[in-house]
Structure 1
Amino acid sequence: MNRPRKIPPRTKQRDERADRVSSAASSATSSYPAPIHQRLHELVTVPDRCRPPVPDLPPVQACSRAVPPRSLSRTTDRRPFLPSVLSSAAIWEPLRRRFIMVSVNPLDFEDMFDVEDLEPFVYGKSAVKKLDDEFEVEGLVPFCYDEATWVAWTEEEMERQRRNKEEKEQKEAENERRAKEHKEVRDSILEYDPKVGHKVFTRFFLRDFSIFDINEKSPIPAMRYTDSRHEDEFRLEDSANILSVSIVSSDVGFPVNVYGSVIARDSIDYKCIYLLHRHRDDCQPIKLQDEMLVLNGPGRGLVLVDFIYLEIDLKIKEDGVHPDRQFSKGLISIDGRVLSRENDLVVASDTLDSWLSSVEVRFATVLNSVEGTFQIQLLEGHYYGTITVGISGIEHRIVIHDSEADGVVTCDDSGAITLRRRVMTLCLLSRKLVFHIDNKAGGVLGEQTIDFTPSRTGADQGETCCGDGKFQVRVDWSLMDYMQ
């Protein structure tokens, strides 16, 4: 069924323009005095003398792969434009230089020609097909066609599409793999807690676990900037000290033999920093309520920009019970976004109620802090006693050595006293790091206190005599930068 032809309304201006075009075409050549619709049939078999040299290729196939040029409604010198099949030898050359194709845009000619006469050529989705149905199209080929160029372009395009498809499939496979790995880890840390009656996250969960190893230890050491000469380039960061982790209640009573881990994750890299790591063969007996676990970390200062996360995973070892029951498991967070800027040091606590116990964590948040890493050495005599460390202004003290558990120290050995914890953070200039030493060796009871004022970098050391021993205390100061 033929499509109705679109006949634009005739106007006086359009008729005058068509007359001018017809006159220009008649003056350019005297070979085609007939009307346009008659010349169309004659010009489909243009003499060879009027054709440009073109490759001897199938014309319809060539036209189907040709790319139409830009709109060519008029030539450069403003002369009327005629389709290639209507042009004579006199106007062929300027059109050839503009790479005229057989298919043209009908909108370019509606204002110049009687579209009723050009209907078979101008209108329709495939001009070549219409010409094939009504006229002889043998010999019609696009200008400047080179088969080798088109073949190379086709091969290049097919290769590009193949690469794009392959890359898309690889990306989809990678995304599927990452989503699966992330879901597996996330499901493993989402567990049902019988004490609260619903599922809870028992470990840190705010990362993409397809690229984040939840069990990786933090590789960042203490004293990163102790020897730095560029201390003014780093600002002071807030931090937190974990003062104690205590068992405040037990659904199975006391005593209990506890083992497991307590892990901290700070704002630097959110990787594991162990505060407690005991195996089943190295249980700690908890004999009384509110008794504290013996912590042996952190190994560096904890930076508090947004959150510090504490993962608690404790089990109890019981005779005749296998496997060991879960004693406490869950996640505690310290929110650094709500710290009061009025007090440079605040002591707070949080309690985790889970499985068979309640565990309390006491911590001290510190504003504008520096890191202090300390070591204590026995220079002379013998030592048997306890050593605690704290921050001036707060009562809580941290036991960093107990000879009953850690052993007697003599100067005959290296003299280095084994410390459970070696790092604390405190406010710069407004607080002091205070050590308290008790020595009962040799039957002489001695007590001594030594303190240090923090600085951005560098080291301080002091010596003191206590009981039957002489001690040297050294503290290395360092800034803490969370932009790793």
Structure 2
Amino acid sequence: MRNTDRPVPPYYLPISMMQFFSVKVIEIMGGLQWPLHVYGIVATRDSQDNKRNFLFRCDREHCQTLASPQDSCLRLTRPSRAIVMVNPVVVEVDLKVKGSRGPPSEDKVLSEHAFVHNHTGHRIKPGFPHRQLESTEDSTMEFVFAHLQSAVEATITVGVVEGSPDFRARKLILRMEATDHGGDDTAVVKEEIFCATKTSRSQSYFMLGFCKLSIIIAWSLLP
């Protein structure tokens, strides 16, 4: 939200960005066995500031369990800002598997790897998901992402402003699907189309019957 609430210089324009959809473990080697109790990081570095921009970050005490090859997607709770694709993007992976017993020294490596994505090869089909496999001696991982042309950054905030907060949110793309945790588990679906702007915020409300949600999207250009 760097430029959401302040005047934007006239030379700031929508630029190329990178959108990650999933990071998945599709094959394990080196004596690893399912289920996997995974912790560590998956991060990107771009030309914006060269700092790590985390897609996945989980410590050893709060690891994620991947049950099987059919249930092996990491929970992507980030990035903290949009990923700029003016120059090639570095994707850094440092993941380990927690042992069932013993100290951290007995944990095993799932993936220690880094690769560079040069977006020039995907300018022909911008916006279409691209699947890339990256293999190490311990695992093969699948990264699904897209190159977005003339994009702006969108930061989404969802808050309960009325009613019970005891529900399970299933999806939030431009729609919300939720069920009342204490009810009959019937799904309620609401959908809203937000038109992108260069600055400021867009707000709407979703009435789900058992509660009212406030949806706020903060728009920002990146230099």
Q: Normalising by structure 2, report the TM-score.
A: 0.89
**Which residue in 1 is equivalent to 2:121?**
338
Q: Which one of the candidate residues 24, 30, 36 is aligned to 1:246? A: 24
**Which residue in 1 is equivalent to 2:191?**
449
CA–CA distance in structure 1, aligned partners of residues 180 and 215 of structure 2: 19
Q: 1:249 to 1:469 in 2, by over 3 A?
A: same
Matched, 1:326 2:95: no
Aligned partner of 1:282: which letter? H
**Which residue in 2 is equivalent to 1:380?**
162
Gaps of 5+ in 2: none
Residues 295-314 of structure 1: pairs in structure 2 closer than 5 A: 295-314=76-95
**Which residue in 2 is equivalent to 1:294?**
75
**Which residue in 1 is equivalent to 2:47?**
267
| Bigger fraction of residues in strand | 2
Report SS of the residue matched to 2:61: helix
Gaps of 5+ in 1: 1-222, 391-433
Q: Which one of the candidate residues 277, 282, 285 is aligned to 2:65? A: 285
Q: CA deviation at 1:466?
A: 1.1
Q: CA deviation at 1:456?
A: 0.9
Report SS of the residue matched to 1:292: coil
State percent identity of aligned pairs: 24
RMSD across aligned positions (CA): 1.8
Contact map agreement 1:315 1:327 (CA 8 A) in 2: yes
Q: CA deviation at 1:387?
A: 4.0
Deviations 1:370-397 (CA, angstroms, capped at 9, x unpaired): 001110111111241124233xxxxxxx
Aligned partner of 2:222: which letter? M
**Which residue in 2 is equivalent to 1:472?**
214
Q: CA deviation at 1:231?
A: 4.9
- Say which is worse superposed, 441-450 or 264-273, in terms of deviation: 441-450
CA–CA distance in structure 2, aligned partners of residues 340 and 350 of structure 1: 16
* Higher relative contact order, chain-length normalized (CA < 8 Å, sep 6+): 2
**Which residue in 2 is equivalent to 1:156?**
none
Aligned partner of 2:180: which letter? K
Contact map agreement 1:352 1:359 (CA 8 A) in 2: yes
Report SS of the residue matched to 2:51: coil
**Which residue in 2 is equivalent to 1:144?**
none
**Which residue in 1 is equivalent to 2:134?**
352
Deviations 1:447-479 (CA, angstroms, capped at 9, x unpaired): 222221111111110012113111110001111
Rg larger in structure: 1
Deviations 1:149-184 (CA, angstroms, capped at 9, x unpaired): xxxxxxxxxxxxxxxxxxxxxxxxxxxxxxxxxxxx
Q: Normalising by structure 1, report the TM-score.
A: 0.42
Matched, 1:368 2:150: yes
Report SS of the residue matched to 1:337: helix
Q: How many residues align?
A: 215
Contact map agreement 1:236 1:368 (CA 8 A) in 2: yes
Q: CA deviation at 1:298?
A: 0.6
Contact map agreement 1:261 1:278 (CA 8 A) in 2: yes
